[in-house]
Structure 1
Amino acid sequence: MSELKKNIIIYVQSALFFICLIIPGLEIVYDMGIFRISRFYFGCYCFMFLMIRLVLSLVEKDKMVIWLSVLTAGIIMAIFRDVELIENIIIALIFFLLFYLFVIKKIDRFGWIVVAVLMLGFWMKKGMPPKIVSVCLFVSLIYGIMKLTDNMSEYYSFVILLIGMLTLCIPAKDTPIQWNGIKRTISFVRESSFRIVSEAEYFLEGLTDFNGAHKGYSDIGRLTGRITGKGREELIVRSSGENKCRYLSGGVYKTLTVKGMTDKESMIETGSEWFVDYINSLYRADINKYEAACFSRIEKMDIEYRYIHTRDIFVPERFLYYNNDIPSLGNKYGRGFSYSVDYMAIDYASPYYLKVIDSAASGDMVYGSYEEIKDYVRTIYNIDIKKIISKEDYDRVVSCISDSGTFEEYLDTSLLTPEIQELTSEVTKDAKTDYEKAKAIETYLRGYKYDTSVDLKDSDNYVESFLFESCSGYCIHYASAMVLMLRSAGIPSRYISGFLKPDNHKQEKEEIISGDSAHAWVEAYLKGVGWIRLEPTRIMRRAEGITWGLEIVSTEETSGDILENYQAGFDQGQYYIEEHHLAENDEIPLNTVSKTSARDSELKFYLRVFFRFGRYILIMLGFMMLMLIIYRGARMYLYIKMQPEEKLKENIRIVCRRLDKLMPEGEEADSVMDYLRVIDDDNTRNELRSIFDEYYRVRFRGDAPSEELISRARSFRLEQ
């Protein structure tokens, strides 16, 4: 095999293994999401750089590889000036330069295995690599080990590549082997161990009354230190409908002290009194049944206690009524205690609910009679208000709301300092309404760092320490600070403790809530609206982040309003017919999208992408051809400008360089005549001897080179 063919084979196999090595690296960069990496663009640019390296190797211009690659990349970036293109070509250039370093002998032996091991470590930590990444990691590791042990040859390398390609082509599932039996065994042992520990903690807690001295819900309102450990299972909830409720209220605290919260009441003590303000605010804002359905719906929830001892009864934040009997308050409930409730799920960020808030801020506070509200509730929710609140309780609540002293207990400012008062004034200086003030304070506090290691329980005023010293904390500190700042602004507020259910993306009907989900938040009272939830804790999503995204739009097909769900992803029209028992002529049509037009748009998109990629490929190939033509032209121009002696010397140099490849490995020619012994053909050898003889006479005797000699030397070709 000729030296040229051998070098090409070695280069190709190195390039193929380099591709195997960069695929896992590319996926790492892609997974980081920092750069807008396109696998297609990246592949095209890598191929371009590899071709530049191959061409320069064939013409023995290896020293030009780096600067020509950088120059090519710079010219392409200057021509297109596209951010995505620039990011892809820079990443491709970095990987290519890494490959070029591997060609250096000292790095070549150790570089492959080091990079392969680093890639393997990353993917072992990340887990679940794609199939092609797994195969490439395997191939790279084998190649790196053989390089390290110096057992690699061009034949072995292609065997490894063949094995990798066969492995990649073998039909397999998209997901790797699950080892379900082993996983189930490990999971069973782990869960059993954790359950035994939970049982022991629960038993000891029941005997000694540790008052919730574990990570999870506490019903005593004390200020805690840093949070550590893992929470155990505390509740099981089973929901109906769309399961939109995320907050489960336990205790309501009115007073803040240096040691925590006091004057606790339960949500079930106030029952559905909140509903009086809520339904009257809708009534005054003239909300119709379609608008109300965009931000509210009645759902059912079953709640069961697990490893928890508490006197609190947890209910969804807008509790309506129980579906079974509840034991008397004051008892301590534990595992097995269960009950069922109906509640009102409310989207506080809906534009229709914001309309209610705006209406209350600008209108009067007249409350409708029980009979008026009864008819309105039936129209809006198709239920009887008697199931929620009786006439006597309704009239009592309306009377209490009218009493100016009703909310004094929610305005206690025992911990207020001049600094906190000044801060509140600064935060709310541009707010015109109580709602705007509340949202301004909420937004401000969400700028503080969330940190469960903060311990402020020994502080003289933990709210002041949180706001001005640590500037970090967790839900207890956020909620306490917001309650105090709201009261400083003259807005009645209360501290709520309970649970914040994790996101239930699978819409499972049964959820297990652990102590890790224990949480604290705030409710503020707005005149004419009632209590609204506020979420000051930084890492939790506030109302705007969990909005349902329902909107009423008008169409030409209907004279009234229709409901269109632009975000939620379910058939809201069907929901109205089934849940609210609308008459047939009240059916709400939904806009539809033509499948044909969608397919046409998708086809146009792919065609546009195809032509765009094709254009880039043609441009890159054209640019490479242009660079090659410029290079050849420059060499021709310089050759023409040479003196005859320099031309002959240049031609002899090229001939000798070609003959070097035919010399036995390890041998070098001492003079040009030594090359004659590697020529097998007699005619070629005689022609070459004649050229060398005349070259010697020109060089050592000073003869003038003839044009015929220069031409013979230039056009000389070896017959192998």
Structure 2
Amino acid sequence: MTRTHAFSLKKIVETKKISAVLLDEIKLLMFEYCLLIISVEIYSIYKGYGEDFSAGSFILNALFSHTRIIILAIIAIQILFHALRKFKKYIDYGSVLLTLVAICLFLAFGSFWEKNSINTLLIIFLAIMTLCAIQPKKFSFYYFLLLGIIIYLIPIRQEPINWTPVTDKASVVIDNVSYYFSNILGTDKYTTGYSSLTNSGNQLKISDTTQLIITTNDPPYFIFFDETTSKRMKQAKTLYLTGTDSTDISHLVEFANLLWRNDVDKETAALFSTISDLSLEYSFLTTRDEIAPINTISLTDENGNPLQKNDKKHQKGYTLNATYFEIDYGSPYLMELYRNPATSDSYLDYDSCCDYLKSLYDINFSKIISEDAYNDCVESLQNVNIDYLDTDGATERMISLASTVAGDYASDFDKCKAIENYLRQYTYSTDLDADAVEADMNEAAGMSMLADNFLFDTGKGYCVHYTSSMVMLLRLSGIPARAASGFYYQFPLDAASSYNVSAACAHTWPEAYIKNVGWVPFEPTSQFIPAEYRSWRKQLEKDTGSVNSPAVPAIPDTIEDDASTESITAFHVAKIIAVIFASLVGLLVMVLLGLKIFYKLRYILASPERKLELDVQQIKKTIQKNTDEEIYDRGLLSDYVKMAPSYIQDDAKRMFELYYKVKYGGKS
């Protein structure tokens, strides 16, 4: 070898050494940066400075106010890592660990969400070091470093990519497949959804399939003044939807005459009633019924034309518009009307009713109903259907229970509330035992079977059992009652362009006919909120609290309180972190196993020449792992023989000589 050639080779080796040292220092500095930022974040969360830190101010103050400590910490880390044997492996392991910690902080506390240079560099550095650590050394660190620089320099869009069309399409496909397959395959459990009282009280399977889509311009909440906090608060609206006859306006006629008989003026009526509009689109729902809010006064098609009654089944995409009375059944003013209504049986004449409703709600009643239809409605209201007092199948213990629960109350309304409150003590459950009976809710005998079994045998059930029980106990108390079915939907507190009513919102509830009042809905099912707790809480400005408001019943201990979810937030966070961590560990294990299988198959399927080459590479790696010195690969296998442990030097030398013969001598 000439002197010039030796000098050039030495220069190349020195350049590689400098490059390797520089590479190690860059990785170490990046690791120190990530360790520093994450440590400060943990400290800020511990001290309660998370909000300031997320804006970037806390970290800057910490860096400038503790400069000496920061510098000393960096020097200490530098010395520590350089003192460690094979410190590059510790950086790789530490990078993966820091990435997992950063992910946990992000999920649990929203850390590193704020867009700033500090967080951007942290994320890029963690990504570079983690990818470099877990990849099978196929790519140089410089490759990932260059990729990180490019990502940092690329301008970020101010507006995120709108993935909504993609997710919407995917959701539609999934819903269609699951909906139609569920209908084909069937199940031994009843699945939630619009039922028209066909549910027989069997075990219940919850479904989240969207059945209705609501659109409305009205806010999904009411505003009220909370005297406890002295603040204006939001109260989410709730909505009962049921199959309705677009030509039936008896509830409107009854409600208007109730207000008139009790001299209710516009100001008082506004405390517990208002007129609202919404649009309903059928999604995964097939029925002949026109589903609309209770107390609907007008139904039109999507073009605004009055609905024509027909027997055609409505399917997905069918749309109707509803104008309806929103009534606060928990208002103390309305409850007092129900408790002590005027005893007069008289009704307004048609013209007077039109004028009265115009003065209260500014609606044109004459466009809703004709005079002949109004007179026919008044005549029909004077006779209650005797079927609503049918107690066929009621047992002696049911009769005794009805007398015990409601016998001490004078007004029909108070009897209704007493029965409602009593039933709310029972346990709500969709997973019923084998001794739970099945019966037809469309008949009094069927409801009696469900009620007796629920009240005295199982002690648990869902809306079908609560409703059957209340209907039968009301009838046994001399109050006409019926079951209604449809959906119970509670709006979110934030307005949206549309609201999805899923099959899980399907519900059954009882209605009682109170003389001189009309049909009033009740909520005995313990899983749902009764009227008192979803009241609008409106009051007259001149009111001094003298209204005879009923005592608000305490929720029984057996009923789960959704408000308690706040106390288990920490558990949910820990659960999420555990799931994410387990997923990452599982993914890492899968990647490592996959690589191992890949290398094994690659060796088995390789040619003899390729197997020899792979064996040489493995020997080089083994020698590198078992030596304390850094080996700079000059392309000479003799360098590795010199560094190999004595007990494998002869084997390594023979293998390398064989490799040279095959590669350059053409021998196999």
TM range (shorter): 0.5 to 0.7
State the match for 1:419 in structure 2.
397
Whole-angstrom CA distance in 2 between matches of 1:17 and 1:122:
11
State the match for 1:462 in structure 2.
450
Structure 2 counterpart of 1:394, from 374, 386, 393: 374
Q: Confirm whether residue 484 of structure 1 aligns to residue 472 of structure 2.
A: yes
The alpha-carbon distance between structure 1 residues 336 and 191, as it changes in their structure 2 partners (threshold 3 A), is: closer
Structure 2 counterpart of 1:366, from 325, 346, 349: 346
Q: Secondary structure at the match of 2:414?
A: helix
Note if contact 2:419-2:470 (Cα within 8 Å) is conserved in structure 1: yes
Whole-angstrom CA distance in 1 between matches of 2:492 and 2:393:
38
| C-alpha deviation, 1:470, in angstroms | 2.4
Aligned residue runs from structure 1 range 251-270, under 5 A: 251=243, 266-268=244-246
State the match for 1:238 in structure 2.
215
Whole-angstrom CA distance in 2 between matches of 1:26 and 1:489:
62
The alpha-carbon distance between structure 1 residues 19 and 322, as it changes in their structure 2 partners (threshold 3 A), is: closer
Whole-angstrom CA distance in 2 between matches of 1:26 and 1:443:
47
| C-alpha deviation, 1:428, in angstroms | 1.9
Note if contact 2:405-2:418 (Cα within 8 Å) is conserved in structure 1: yes
Q: Confirm whether residue 300 of structure 1 aligns to residue 292 of structure 2.
A: no
Aligned residue runs from structure 1 range 601-620, under 5 A: none
Whole-angstrom CA distance in 2 between matches of 1:247 and 1:355:
22
State the match for 1:645 in structure 2.
none
Q: Secondary structure at the match of 2:468?
A: helix
The alpha-carbon distance between structure 1 residues 343 and 456, as it changes in their structure 2 partners (threshold 3 A), is: farther
Question: How many aligned residue pairs are there?
Answer: 437
The alpha-carbon distance between structure 1 residues 430 and 336, as it changes in their structure 2 partners (threshold 3 A), is: same
Q: Confirm whether residue 339 of structure 1 aligns to residue 330 of structure 2.
A: no
Q: Confirm whether residue 192 of structure 1 aligns to residue 168 of structure 2.
A: no
Note if contact 1:446-1:536 (Cα within 8 Å) is conserved in structure 2: yes
For residues 477-524 of structure 1, give each alpha carbon's deviation from its aligned partner in whole angstroms, at most 9, with x where no partner exists: 222211111112111111111112232312335222221211111211
Q: Confirm whether residue 326 of structure 1 aligns to residue 311 of structure 2.
A: no
When the two structures are superposed, what TM-score results if normalisation uses the length of structure 1? 0.49
The alpha-carbon distance between structure 1 residues 197 and 284, as it changes in their structure 2 partners (threshold 3 A), is: same
| Alignment gaps of 5+ in structure 1 | 1-15, 31-115, 143-171, 252-265, 556-720
Structure 2 counterpart of 1:280, from 217, 237, 257: 257
Structure 2 counterpart of 1:380, from 360, 372, 386: 360
Q: Confirm whether residue 511 of structure 1 aligns to residue 499 of structure 2.
A: yes
The alpha-carbon distance between structure 1 residues 285 and 382, as it changes in their structure 2 partners (threshold 3 A), is: same
| C-alpha deviation, 1:457, in angstroms | 8.7
| C-alpha deviation, 1:23, in angstroms | 7.0
| C-alpha deviation, 1:309, in angstroms | 1.0
Whole-angstrom CA distance in 2 between matches of 1:466 and 1:367:
41
State the match for 1:551 in structure 2.
539
**Paired letter, 1:237:** I
Note if contact 2:340-2:411 (Cα within 8 Å) is conserved in structure 1: no
Note if contact 1:320-1:388 (Cα within 8 Å) is conserved in structure 2: yes
| C-alpha deviation, 1:395, in angstroms | 2.4
Greater relative contact order, per chain length (Cα 8 Å cut-off, separation 6+): 2
For residues 304-324 of structure 1, give each alpha carbon's deviation from its aligned partner in whole angstroms, at most 9, with x where no partner exists: 211111122101100112232
Whole-angstrom CA distance in 2 between matches of 1:472 and 1:458:
9
Structure 1 counterpart of 2:335, from 324, 343, 354: 354
Note if contact 1:219-1:311 (Cα within 8 Å) is conserved in structure 2: no
Aligned residue runs from structure 1 range 72-111, under 5 A: none
When the two structures are superposed, what TM-score results if normalisation uses the length of structure 2? 0.53
Aligned-pair RMSD on alpha carbons?
5.5
The alpha-carbon distance between structure 1 residues 427 and 267, as it changes in their structure 2 partners (threshold 3 A), is: farther
Q: Secondary structure at the match of 1:294?
A: coil
Whole-angstrom CA distance in 2 between matches of 1:197 and 1:402:
48
**Paired letter, 1:352:** Y
For residues 365-400 of structure 1, give each alpha carbon's deviation from its aligned partner in whole angstroms, at most 9, with x where no partner exists: 322322332322222122232223332233233333
The alpha-carbon distance between structure 1 residues 464 and 553, as it changes in their structure 2 partners (threshold 3 A), is: same
**Paired letter, 2:267:** Y
Structure 2 counterpart of 1:434, from 402, 408, 412: 412
Note if contact 2:41-2:111 (Cα within 8 Å) is conserved in structure 1: no
Whole-angstrom CA distance in 2 between matches of 1:129 and 1:482:
51
Note if contact 2:420-2:522 (Cα within 8 Å) is conserved in structure 1: yes
State the match for 2:511 in structure 1.
523
| C-alpha deviation, 1:363, in angstroms | 3.2
State the match for 2:54 in structure 1.
none
Whole-angstrom CA distance in 1 between matches of 2:454 and 2:195:
21
**Paired letter, 1:193:** I
Whole-angstrom CA distance in 2 between matches of 1:391 and 1:17:
76
Whole-angstrom CA distance in 2 between matches of 1:369 and 1:543:
32
| C-alpha deviation, 1:549, in angstroms | 2.3
Note if contact 2:201-2:437 (Cα within 8 Å) is conserved in structure 1: no
Whole-angstrom CA distance in 2 between matches of 1:117 and 1:449:
46
State the match for 1:289 in structure 2.
266
Stretch of structure 1 that moved more, 342-351 or 213-222: 213-222
Stretch of structure 1 that moved more, 519-528 or 371-380: 371-380
Q: Confirm whether residue 443 of structure 1 aligns to residue 421 of structure 2.
A: yes
| C-alpha deviation, 1:284, in angstroms | 1.0
Whole-angstrom CA distance in 1 between matches of 2:476 and 2:331:
28
The alpha-carbon distance between structure 1 residues 190 and 489, as it changes in their structure 2 partners (threshold 3 A), is: same
CA radius of gyration, larger in: 1
The alpha-carbon distance between structure 1 residues 26 and 118, as it changes in their structure 2 partners (threshold 3 A), is: farther
Percent identity of equivalent pairs: 27
